[in-house]
Chains A and B, each alone.
Chain A
Amino acid sequence: MSLVGQVDRATSSARGRGRRPGELTRGAGLGLGVGVLWLSLLVLLPIAAIVSTAFDEGLAGFWDAVTDREALAAIQFTVGAAALVTVVNAVVGTLIAWVLVRDRFPGKRILEVVIDIPFALPTIVAGLVLITLYGPSGPFGINLVGTRAGVVLALLFVTLPFVVRSVQPVLIDADREVEQAAASLGASGFTIFRRVILPTVTPAVVSGAALSFARALGEFGSVILISANLIGKTQVSSSYILKMIESQETQSAAAVATLLLVVAVVVLVLLDGVQRRTARRG
């Protein structure tokens, strides 16, 4: 709904002079139609199908499916791991972006490329890489296979670029003169960070973090090898969903998927709220 409203406003102010508010030009109307059709086919219809499958056996069926001990354990673990990963990414990702934008050092170009590798790798390849390094025959002598730490590591790996890549352009655009002015007025480094830099980058950090969270929630390929899929311990919800599909329990699979969808939407909305508030202050 808000999308439609925004498009409305944007188009009527851009070239809708003399038109009644809310009325679209033919081109804009067609564009809006295509956009909504596209979104419907790709996103809304499939989601509606999943949600309706989830309630195939009514509310009780949905409740049974998501309170199944194994399902609950998988969901709790996945949401917790995704939250942890999101927090770590927000801090470390911002730091990496800061270093990449503000500092000059040899090998910076290479680091820029390295950051994107987790995006470029098919996730199952990421899983193989991780188990090679942090598996039983890895060079570091630490075996994370079948541990929760291993799963978190895999999620950190595949979500690393989100915060870095959303904060970087903001830092590049940030007006350094404001920081210099603050410094010349006697602000300490910490005050400058808190009052000047943080408000500028927070919206970007938050949007990157939101993407990290959503991705971590649904991650499959990179975690299946390192997690070892131990029920009640390291089983992630995507793996549980696959298992339900394979055992012809489509309704259970859809119910768990729907619950995850709700969690993701709630978190995205919350973070969106944070983003708006900080953006207004900034």
Chain B
Amino acid sequence: MKSTPRGPLTRTSSRIAAVLVAASLLAVAGCSSSDDDGETSADGTQGAGGGDTSIDLVGFAVIQSAYDDLADAFAATDEGKGVTVAGSFGASGAQSRAVIAGQDADLVALSLTPDVQNIADEGLIAPDWASDEHQGIVSDSVVVLAVRPGNPKNIQGWDDLIQPGVGIVTADPGTSGSAKWNLLGAYSQALGDSNDTAAAEAYLGKFIDNVVSWNDSGRTATDAFVKGTGDVLISYENEAIAARASGVELDYVVPDTTFLIENPAAVTTTASQAAKDFLDYVRSDAGQEILIAHGFRSVSGVTPSADVEGANDPANPFPDVTIITVEDLGGWSTVNDELFDKENGLVTQLRG
């Protein structure tokens, strides 16, 4: 043992150390170039074959299956030949921040206009992205009330939600931007034609008192409801239709007066022509048909040509009701200040 020189031992350990250094550098390098991680390709052939174009789509969680179908249908058109869509889906606000932070994106499709506008404010999307006839909106839906099968509490409209003993489940507008639609639905219908803010505040107060679960996202709200929490889930028509189509046991009620949900999409300033063509396709009648099949209402007034599985009445999936829009309330900056501001917003105050 004594004769063992220290040299080889030291050399071995420095060699190990060198390997570790190399490995850690590779790992760091790997992290920085792993933007593609977690992305799914619509047809699983992302980037296959030279000359093919891939569109980086950054979307909110709910639209994944609809956009997978849209990508497949687009690939079957002349313009879409050889174009694949690599989608990354997640919470709308988080997706918006990811794009601002540098995630590759050709096309963003998010749940709220402000989430797209925030990206545009950073100069990553053309300032006039919302100047088309639909203000950049590509899919619509309305706020609905999902209830237990058979509707045991006989909930027919907004007034039934503020009865004592009715437990409401909703996503939290603090953590889930799209949950703002829910609160806007409750607030706006109580405003009524006479724009009675006192009545609307009183209604919203009772509504908030009846909430038994504020969930971090629409999906966890649905999970909580399906597992038995509460009597009514404030949801979106497309969510309710998709849930029922996938076998979840719930009924839903479209109130006589409800709120219009508008999901915007825009191409980034660095987008390829293929991404622009794809967005045009989403807006086309054929694209809107696909969104309708997934439970969304058409922006451009395309009527369903086939039954919509999961809808209360598949033959007449989108009942005609009075619809209030965010524009009716003065636009996003107004509602964000009045209702959702962290300090003085009405919702914040009523919850505190």
Contact = CB atoms under 8 A, between A and B. Distances in A.
Interface of A: 15, 25-28, 30-31, 33-34, 37-38, 41, 69-70, 128, 131-132, 135-138, 145-146, 224-225, 228-232, 239, 242-243, 246-247, 249
Nearest to B221: A225
B14 A26 contact: yes
Contacts of A132: 227
Given A132-B227, A243-B172, A228 B213 contact: yes
A247 to B, nearest CB: 6
B352 interface: yes
A32 to B, nearest CB: 9
Q: Name, among B9, B10, B91, B175, the residue most crowded by chain A CB atoms within 10 Å (CB to CB).
A: B175
B174 A246 contact: yes
Contacts of B176: 246
B93 A246 contact: yes
A243 to B, nearest CB: 4
A145 B224 contact: yes
Given A31-B17, A225-B224, A246 B352 contact: no
A145 B212 contact: yes
Contacts of B223: 128, 131, 225
A218 B206 CA distance: 32
A37 B24 contact: yes
B177 interface: yes
A229 B229 contact: no
B98 interface: no
A131 B10 CA distance: 56
B13 interface: yes
Given A30-B17, A228-B212, A246-B93, 19 more contacts: A15-B9, A27-B10, A27-B17, A31-B13, A31-B16, A34-B17, A41-B28, A70-B352, A131-B228, A135-B229, A137-B228, A145-B224, A146-B229, A228-B215, A228-B229, A229-B216, A239-B175, A246-B174, A246-B176
Interface residues of B, number: 37
Interface string B60-96: 0000000000000000000000000000000101100
Contacts of B16: 27, 31
Given A131-B227, A145-B212, A228-B213, A247 B342 contact: yes
Contacts of A239: 175, 216
B228 A136 contact: yes
A74 to B, nearest CB: 12
A134 to B, nearest CB: 10
Given A135-B229, A243-B174, A247-B342, A225 B215 contact: yes
Contacts of A131: 223-224, 227-229
A229 to B, nearest CB: 4
B21 interface: yes
A147 B344 CA distance: 27
Contacts of A247: 174, 340, 342
A15 B214 contact: no
A25 B215 contact: no
Main SS class of interface, A: helix
A229 B213 contact: yes
Contacts of B20: 31, 34
A34 B94 CA distance: 33
Contacts of A31: 13, 16-17, 20
Interface in B160-212: 172, 174-177, 212
A26 to B, nearest CB: 5
Interface string B234-254: 000000000000000000000
A231 B351 contact: yes
B18 interface: yes
A146 B167 CA distance: 11
B228 A69 contact: no
B216 A25 contact: no
A27 to B, nearest CB: 3
B213 A135 contact: no
A25 B1 CA distance: 19
B227 A135 contact: yes
A48 B54 CA distance: 38
A229 B9 contact: no
Contacts of A26: 10, 14
7 contacts: A25-B13, A28-B13, A135-B229, A145-B213, A146-B229, A224-B216, A228-B213
Interface in B1-36: 6, 9-14, 16-18, 20-21, 24, 28
Q: Name, among A70, A225, A239, the residue most crowded by chain B CB atoms within 10 Å (CB to CB).
A: A225
B316 interface: no
A83 B176 CA distance: 30
Given A25-B10, A28-B13, A246 B215 contact: no
A128 B223 CA distance: 8
Nearest to A37: B24
Q: Name, among B6, B13, B14, B224, the residue most crowded by chain A CB atoms within 10 Å (CB to CB).
A: B224
Q: Name, among B10, B17, B93, the residue most crowded by chain A CB atoms within 10 Å (CB to CB).
A: B17
Nearest to B9: A15
Given A25-B10, A131-B224, A145-B212, A30 B174 contact: no
Closest 7 CB pairs of A and B: A27-B13, A137-B228, A136-B228, A30-B17, A228-B213, A243-B174, A27-B14
